[in-house]
Amino acid sequence: MNKVVVGFDFSSGSAYAVDLAIDIANRWKSDIRLVYVKEKNEAEEPIREEIERRNAGVAHLLQGIKLEYVLRKGNPADELTAQAREDNAALLIVGTHGMSGMKTNMLGRNSYRTIELSPVPVLIVREGFNFNKSLETIVVPLDNSDDTRQKVNIAATFAKTFGSTIHLLGLYTASAADVRGIVNNYVRMVERFLDKNEVKYVTKYMEVSKNVTADTLDYAASVQADMIAIMTEQEKSLSSLILGSYAQQMINQSTIPVVTVRPKDVLANSSNN
């Protein structure tokens, strides 16, 4: 597969992201690219020396893959997503204390912008997550939105890679028969896709009682999930792309890794501007 790109800034969060990237990239037989975005007057040589020292320390973990790095200048989110695009990356990983991003439980501006701009799936990893636990259970919430199924491909990739079981969570956000029918239809389509690709799954339908975020997180906790796959819910607003409120809430509140996917129609529209 193509490269796994990781945002790195010497924080403990980004160090965790590197550890996870090595595990994933070994399984995918992908090379890893660390991206450090330097400040305007920051000297390069000390940065290079420290990154090379750290890379040497994990070299024994690499299974026939390369761990490379690049220094870039500019806005961290812009540069990280540009690198992912240049490398035609399969995945971009950001630690929640990486990319100068975290204050308490809230992702910072750079981390949000990375998710908004990324042309590839972004895996957000919290520093305190138990990385020794196998990736056994992936929750994929499905609603009646047009793009809800687009996150299934990356979830299925992870499931096949780690031998995980996908939990399809059909979410009824309204009692209207047409809304429920759309959810049912989307779930059946995803089930056929997973059957065809020999991915293990279970299906659960749920009435949304609190809100989509809270109910999804409650379900994830009940099945001891190890990852949640969501859409970024981006929409065009004037000249900017805006991360949907559901995605923001999910990323902020989830204690387990969240993988986000930008809708393809947004990617197509933004590439024409």
Report yes or no on 190 lying in a domain: yes
- Quick one: pLDDT at residue 96? 72
Report yes or no on 132 lying in a domain: no
Residue 232 CA to residue 81 CA, distance in Å, equals 15
Same domain, residue pair 145 and 266 = yes
Same domain, residue pair 250 and 177 = yes
**Residue percentage of the chain with pLDDT more than 90:** 63
Q: Between residues 6 and 103, which one has the greater pLDDT?
A: 6
CB of 118 closer than 8 Å to CB of 262: yes
Query: What does the angle CA 142 – CA 232 – CA 35 come to, to the nearest 5 degrees?
Result: 130
Same domain, residue pair 141 and 256 = yes
Report yes or no on 167 lying in a domain: yes
Least confident of 41-50, 158-167, 241-250: 241-250
Q: Does 130 have pLDDT greater than 70?
A: no
Given strand 4-7, what is the order of strands in its sheet?
67-73, 32-38, 4-7, 91-95, 122-125, 258-261, 227-231, 137-142, 165-172, 201-207
Number of domains, the chain: 2
Same domain, residue pair 145 and 267 = yes
Taking residues 171-198, report their average pLDDT.
96
Taking residues 188-201, report their average pLDDT.
98
Report yes or no on 15 lying in a domain: yes
- Quick one: pLDDT at residue 51? 96
Sign of CA dihedral 113, 116, 119, 124: positive
- Quick one: pLDDT at residue 244? 65
Same domain, residue pair 96 and 143 = no
Taking residues 251-269, report their average pLDDT.
79
Same domain, residue pair 72 and 145 = no
Same domain, residue pair 79 and 153 = no
Domain of residue 179, CATH code: 3.40.50.620
Report yes or no on 242 lying in a domain: yes
Mean pLDDT for all residues in the chain: 86
- Quick one: pLDDT at residue 257? 92
Domain endpoint, select from 103, 125, 147: 125
Report yes or no on 150 lying in a domain: yes
Question: What pLDDT band is residue 234 in, cutting at 50, 70 and 90?
Answer: very low
The values of phi and psi at residue 6, to 5°, are -130, 130
Taking residues 97-125, report their average pLDDT.
68
Question: What pLDDT band is residue 95 in, cutting at 50, 70 and 90?
Answer: confident
Report yes or no on 52 lying in a domain: yes
Q: Tokens for 110?
A: 């750079």
Domain endpoint, select from 70, 92, 125: 125
Q: Does 80 have pLDDT greater than 50?
A: yes
Residue 255 CA to residue 104 CA, distance in Å, equals 13
Taking residues 50-58, report their average pLDDT.
96
- Quick one: pLDDT at residue 237? 40
For residue 258, give its domain range. Answer: 137-271
Same domain, residue pair 190 and 221 = yes
Question: Would you mind telling me the total number of residues written for the chain in this entry?
Answer: 273
Residue 182 CA to residue 221 CA, distance in Å, equals 26
Same domain, residue pair 141 and 119 = no
Q: Does 99 have pLDDT greater than 90?
A: no
Q: Tokens for 5?
A: 């790109």
Q: Between residues 199 and 109, which one has the greater pLDDT?
A: 199
* Three-class HEC string of 134-199: CCCEEEEEECCCCCHHHHHHHHHHHHHHHCCEEEEEEEECCCCHHHHHHHHHHHHHHHHHHHHCCC
Same domain, residue pair 165 and 79 = no
Domain endpoint, select from 83, 104, 125: 125
Taking residues 123-134, report their average pLDDT.
76
Same domain, residue pair 228 and 205 = yes
Report yes or no on 188 lying in a domain: yes
Same domain, residue pair 38 and 151 = no
- Quick one: pLDDT at residue 131? 64
CB of 59 closer than 8 Å to CB of 67: yes
| E-assigned strand segments in the chain | 4-7, 32-38, 67-73, 91-95, 102-103, 106-107, 122-125, 137-142, 165-172, 201-207, 227-231, 235-237, 240-242, 258-261
Name the residue with tokens 């029918």. Answer: 181
Question: What pLDDT band is residue 243 in, cutting at 50, 70 and 90?
Answer: low
Q: Between residues 11 and 28, which one has the greater pLDDT?
A: 28
Q: Does 81 have pLDDT greater than 70?
A: yes
Taking residues 8-16, report their average pLDDT.
84
Most confident of 11-25, 96-110, 165-179: 165-179
Nearest alpha carbon to residue 139 among 249, 247, 259, 227: 227
